[in-house]
């Protein structure tokens, strides 16, 4: 079953969790650029999952739905709605991800960014999760 077959809440949620797992693994392996990129994708999909989740609906205004394709604006909408506490610096993470996509993060200490991102994922209800509930990792991936 594919991600899209799971629907607008469960599909992006599964992708977010898979990319959290893969991003953490890549960071531990020293593949900082790929790890940061995977974590950014995880955050984007976590926000999309929550946006589609009726449990969050009453807390988000209609404008938030217009930001579906803009992770930065969507993140701010979640902060303004009180879903997120705003302590994570999304702008800095976005800039870091741009650097990662250009492979400019050799030797970067990712621990603070990872802790901040994990806090966001916890506030969204994406973390914690049972890794045994995820499909096994493909050893051929990056």
pLDDT digits (tens, 9 = 90+) for 100-115: 999 888 889 999 999 9
Which residues, other chains included, contact 36 with Cβ-Cβ below 8 Å and sequence gap of 6+? 23, 27, 96, 97, 100, 105, 108, 110, 113
Asked if residue 27 lies in contact with residue 105, where contact means CB atoms within 8 angstroms, the answer is no
In a domain, 2, yes or no: no
pLDDT digits (tens, 9 = 90+) for 51-100: 988 887 777 877 677 777 789 999 999 999 899 999 999 999 999 999 99
In a domain, 1, yes or no: no
pTM of the predicted structure, to 2 decimals: 0.90
In a domain, 115, yes or no: yes
In a domain, 137, yes or no: no
* Domain housing 88: 8-126
How high is the pLDDT of residue 10? 87
Angle between helices 7-28 and 32-52 (to 10 degrees): 160
CA distance 21 to 136: 11
In a domain, 134, yes or no: no
In a domain, 84, yes or no: yes
């Amino acid at each position: 079953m594919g991600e899209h077959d799971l629907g607008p809440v469960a599909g992006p949620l599964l992708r977010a969790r898979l990319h959290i797992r893969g991003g953490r693994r890549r960071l531990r392996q020293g593949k900082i650029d790929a790890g940061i990129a995977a974590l950014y994708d995880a955050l984007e999909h976590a926000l999309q999952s929550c946006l589609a989740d009726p449990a969050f609906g009453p807390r988000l205004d209609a404008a938030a739905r217009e930001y579906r394709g803009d992770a930065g604006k969507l993140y701010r909408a979640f902060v303004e709605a009180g879903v997120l506490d705003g302590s994570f610096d999304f702008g800095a993470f976005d800039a870091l991800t741009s650097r990662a996509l250009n492979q400019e993060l050799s030797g970067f200490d990712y621990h603070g960014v990872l802790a901040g991102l994990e806090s966001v994922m916890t506030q969204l209800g994406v973390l914690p999760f049972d890794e045994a509930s995820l499909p096994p990792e493909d050893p051929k991936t990056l």
